[in-house]
Amino acid sequence: MQYKFPDNFWWGAATSGPQSEGRFHKVHKSVFDHWYDIEPEAFFDRVGPNVASNFYNDYVQDIAFMKEVGLNSVRTSIQWTRLMKDFEAGTVEPEAAEFYRKVIEEFLRQGIRPVINLHHFDLPVELYEKYGGWESKEVVELFVIFAQKCFELFGGQVKDWITFNEPMVVAEGEYLYQFHYPNVVDGKKACQVIYNLNLASAKVIEAFHRSSCAKQGGRIGIVLNLTPAYPRSQDEADIKAAAFAEDFKNNAFLYPAVKGVFPQSLTDVLKEDGVLWDSTPEELAIIKENTVDFLGINYYHPFRAKARENAFDESRGWLPEKHFEEYEMPGARMNPYRGWEIYPQAIYDIAIEVRDKCGNIPWYVAENGMGVEGEEKFRNRDGYIEDDYRIDFLKEHLACLHKAIAEGSNCFGFHMWTPIDCWSWKNAYKNRYGFIAVDLSNQQKTIKKSGYWMKEVSQNNGF
C-alpha cells in the first residue's frame, strides 16, 4: 500500500540543547550538570553531559547530515543555563546569543525549518537551590523573562516556538519516581509543580502573543508526552482506574494547554486527597485565556491500568498510584532494550482524541522512535548500521498516523527522536535512537540505514 501525506508535511526529528551541545562555555549549571558533578556513578557508564554529541562545535556538519537524510524541520532547544547571564536582570551572554543565532541561520541556510523549544529539563540548579525550582512561582516569572529574551533575539528568524518539552516528566522524575534530580518523593509538591508549569506555559504564551513574533506570523505551542491509558477490562473498576491515570498522566497538561482548564474529574480527586495545588483566580484566568496555537505530541508507548488489587502503601505519602495499578498485558510486544510496549495503534487513538476532544487543533508528532542498545553489532561491511527494526517500527506508526489523517485529524508533521544519537540523562548513550550514529571515541558520525530510508520518505512525501 502507498501512504501519501499532506502537502508541506514536516519530515523531521527532535533533539535538545542539553542532550546535544555539550557544556562548552556554559556559565551556569543545569540540575543535570550539577547531578553529574556530584554523583557521576548515577549515570550509565559514568557518561555525563560534558561533551554530548558535540553539537556546539560540529553544528555546521551536523545540520548538513540532517539535510542529507531529508529532514525539512528539526526541533532543538535554547538552554536557559547557556543563554542567560543574570536570570533576574534578564541579561544574556553575548557568546551564547551569537551561538544560537548562527545555529538558527545554519538551519535556514540549509533549508531546514527550526522549531525552538524553551525548556527541556534544563532548570538552572541555582534556581532550584535559591527558590526550590518549579515548586516556586518566582521561577515561573524568571522563565517568562528568559522566554521574552529569546523572542527578542531570535523571533525574526524562528516562526515555531515550544514552551516546554514533556513537562509531566519534570513532575514525575523530580518529585515522584526519582529518575531526575533532586530525586524527591513528594506528591503534594509534584502537584504544585504540575500547576506551576502550566502557569509558566500560559504566561509565556501571553508574552509571545504580545511580542512582535506573533505579528510576524509566528506561533507557539507545547510538546506533551502522551501515554494513552487503556483499562485492563471493561469492568467498572478498571475503567475508573484508567480514567484517573489518563487524567493525571495526560490531561493534566493537555486540557490546560488546549482548553484552558484542568479536568474537573482530576481536581476533584486531588482536592479530596489533600494534594491540590495552590492557585489564584487571576492565575487561572491567565491559563484560560492563553492556550496554544498548535500542539506537539511525543508518543512512545501506551499505559495499561487496572483497579488496585493491593492496598496502597502510604509510607511515602500520596502518589497517583493510590487510584490505579499498572497492568502488564499478556503477550504485549516489547522493546526489550527500553522495556516499553510497542503499540502503533495508540498513535491513531491519540490523533482521533485530538480531533474529537481538542477542537481538531493543528498538531504534529513531536517525537516517536525506538531506542536500541548495542547497535554497533548491526554495522555492515560498508560501514553503516542496518537498523531495519527502526524502519519497520516507523512504518507501522506512520501507517496508523496516515489512517487518522485520512479520517480528518489535523496532523501536519512527524518528527523522530532523534536526528543524531544523543546523550540521554541517566541513560547516557545506552539506547540509541538516531538516524545518524555517533562513535563516542572520536565523535565520528555516520548515517544509518534508517536515515537513507527517511530521505526517500521525505522526498516522496510518503512511502
375 catalytic? Reply is no
Contact between 17 and 82 under an 8 Å Cβ cutoff? The reply is yes
Buried b (16+ CB within 10 A) or exposed e, 57-86: ebbeebbebbbebbbbbbbbbbbbbbbbee
Distance between CA atoms of residues 261 and 282, nearest Å: 13
- In Å, how far are 357, 393, 407, 417 from 398, measured between CA atoms? 22, 9, 14, 14
Residue type, 165: N
Distance between CA atoms of residues 100 and 157, nearest Å: 11
- Single out the catalytic residue among 166, 246, 341, 375: 166
Distance between CA atoms of residues 56 and 52, nearest Å: 9
- Single out the catalytic residue among 172, 321, 353, 367: 367
Strands (E) in 113-157, as ranges, are 113-117
166 catalytic? Reply is yes
Handedness of CA 394, 396, 402, 405 (dihedral sign): negative
Distance between CA atoms of residues 460 and 454, nearest Å: 10
Non-local (6+) Cβ contacts of 205 within 8 A are: 163, 220, 290, 291, 292
Candidates 274, 252, 254; CA nearest to 322 is 274
- The backbone torsions φ and ψ at residue 411, rounded to the nearest 5 degrees and listed phi first, read -95, 130
Please count the other Cβ atoms lying within 10 Å of the Cβ belonging to residue 337.
Answer: 15
* Overall residue count recorded for the chain in this entry: 463
- In Å, how far are 71, 107, 116, 155, 263 from 62, measured between CA atoms? 12, 10, 17, 23, 42
Non-local (6+) Cβ contacts of 429 within 8 A are: 44, 45, 47, 421, 423, 438, 440
Residues with catalytic roles: 166, 367
